Structure formats: structure tokens, C-alpha cells
Structure 1
Amino acid sequence: MFHQVTYLLFKLNLVQPSERTIRFWMHTDEIEKLEYVLKHGNYKSRQLAAEALGVTGYTSSIPVLFEAINDKIQNVSIAALNALESIGCEDELGFTIIKKRFNWLKEKRENDKKREANKGKKYKIYRWERASKKSFDRVKEQLKRPMR
């Protein structure tokens, strides 16, 4: 009962489903609710819904997962690709998109390594040389004169 109320409040944009609610929907095979969360939830809910759809393994959710690949949040895209891989897409398009996942993971790991390497590094910021006082005074005097 509580999870049904949560779904109604989510459809009214009042609350976001919790991880516990999404896990409950996953165990009770309520695929349409998970798909709705994947389309309209916040980034954490979308990621959890994609993971849950991958665990359930229904092939009817493949089109929704294909749409989730183009998500702005990279973790949601990776979760959707993992779900597609666990469901097992048999088309050629599915194989090529799942291969794309490895490139994303590789880029993410490289960025994390770069961030860790540059964590303690101090950058030297060079200040531009300021114009001399003499040239500044000259421009100031020119601005005081009336235009012809």
C-alpha cells in the first residue's frame, strides 16, 4: 500500500521514490512503474530504475533502456548499458551500443586518475604586467579633454 501511494505522489511530482521502493517494484515485477521512473525521475532514481530493469530481465523494457543511453548523467547511461547487456540484446545495434559502454568506462577511469594525480598540484598564476603609471596618467588626461 505504501509503495502505491509513493507511486501516485511521484506521478504528481511531489516525491521521488526511494531505493527501498524501487527494490520492492523490482521484486514484484512492476515493470511499468520502473520504466516511468527511468523516464521521469531524478538522476539517482533513474540510475536505480535502470539497474532494477536489468535485474528483472524483461525484454519489453529494451526500448526505454535505449532511450536512457542518451541521458545527460553518465552514471544513468552506464547503468542503462549494463542493464541492456544483462538482458541480452540480440540485434547488431544492441551489440554496438553495448561496446560503447567500455569506452565510456575507460574515459571515466582515466579522468578519475587525472583528477587524483592533480589533486595536490599547485598552479602558478602569472599576473599580466600592468601598464605603467605614466601611460595611465596620459590616457586619463586625454579623457578629460573635450572631443572635437
Structure 2
Amino acid sequence: MDSHDTVKLEYALANGNYKTRKLAAEALEQIAKPCSIPALLKCINDKVQNVSIACLNALEKISPNDELIKAVVNKRFNWATNVREKQAKFEANKGKKYTIYRWERASKKSFDRVKEQLKRPMR
């Protein structure tokens, strides 16, 4: 592929819908040209998690020896792992019922005590 195709893919990565952005990131991963690294770095904070992960995979394949890229990729993959773990935990506890205890207020408790004392006959 020539650089003209890479420019088209970078444009699709920046301006397409989420499926187009994901496919563009995967295509840039297959091309593996270092000139597309800035466009991929811009898209690692995408709103859609699959697009972010596709960009991270592409960055990891394009420049496996660059320490800065390694640090960014590791940090973002840890973020993606944490998000997936939270979602799995939420799904696992979705049907679980929790018992919520209501604490008695001291003023209500003392009021009830006085009321009970008034009901008793005086000696």
C-alpha cells in the first residue's frame, strides 16, 4: 500500500463512525507504517473501548521497541482490563439482593420510651 491509502485510513480513523474507526485501526495495524503513529496516538482515548483497543494493538505491532509506546500501551491495557473486570463484577452481582438496615434515630427511640412510660399506671 502506498502513503495515499494510509492517509485515507487515518482520515477514516479520525472521522468515521465507531465501526469504521475500528476497521481503520486494524488496517493501519496490518500496514504497520510508522507514519501513522500520531493518528493512532490521538485515538487511544476514544469513547468506544473497542476502537481504543484496536489502536493500542496497532501501536504495539508498529513500534514494539519504543519505550514510550510500550508505557502508553501497558497503561491503557491495564485501564481496559479494569473496565472489563468492573463490568464482569457488575453483571455477576446484578440479581443479588442486599439488605439495607435503617438506623434508629435516638430522638425517636427516646420518644417511644417516654410514651411507653406514660401508658403505665403511676405508683
The alignment's TM-score, normalised by the length of structure 1, stands at 0.58
Task: Give the number of the structure with larger relative contact order, counting CA–CA contacts within 8 Å between residues 6 or more apart.
Answer: 2
Look at both structures and tell me which one has the larger radius of gyration over its CA atoms.
2
Are 1:84 and 2:63 an aligned pair?
no
* Matched-pair identity in %: 59
Are 1:41 and 2:8 an aligned pair?
no
Quote the RMSD (CA, aligned, Å): 2.5
Q: Where do 1:112-131 residues align within 5 Å? A: 112-122=87-97
Are 1:64 and 2:39 an aligned pair?
yes
Kindly tell me the number of residue pairs found equivalent between the two proteins.
100
Higher helix share: 2
The Cα offsets for residues 104-140 of structure 1, whole Å up to 9 and x where unpaired, read as 23212212321221232246789xxxxxxxxxxxxxx
Instruction: Tell me how far apart the structure 2 counterparts of residues 116 and 56 of structure 1 sit (CA, whole Å).
Output: 37
Instruction: Tell me how far apart the structure 2 counterparts of residues 66 and 85 of structure 1 sit (CA, whole Å).
Output: 11
The alignment's TM-score, normalised by the length of structure 2, stands at 0.68
Instruction: Tell me how far apart the structure 2 counterparts of residues 103 and 41 of structure 1 sit (CA, whole Å).
Output: 26
- In structure 1, list runs of 5 or more residues that go unmatched: 1-25, 127-148
Are 1:30 and 2:5 an aligned pair?
yes
Instruction: Tell me how far apart the structure 2 counterparts of residues 89 and 60 of structure 1 sit (CA, whole Å).
Output: 15
- In structure 2, list runs of 5 or more residues that go unmatched: 102-123
Letter in 2 for 1:50: A
Instruction: Tell me how far apart the structure 2 counterparts of residues 70 and 109 of structure 1 sit (CA, whole Å).
Output: 16
Instruction: Tell me how far apart the structure 1 counterparts of residues 39 and 50 of structure 2 sit (CA, whole Å).
Output: 16
Instruction: Tell me how far apart the structure 2 counterparts of residues 41 and 76 of structure 1 sit (CA, whole Å).
Output: 11
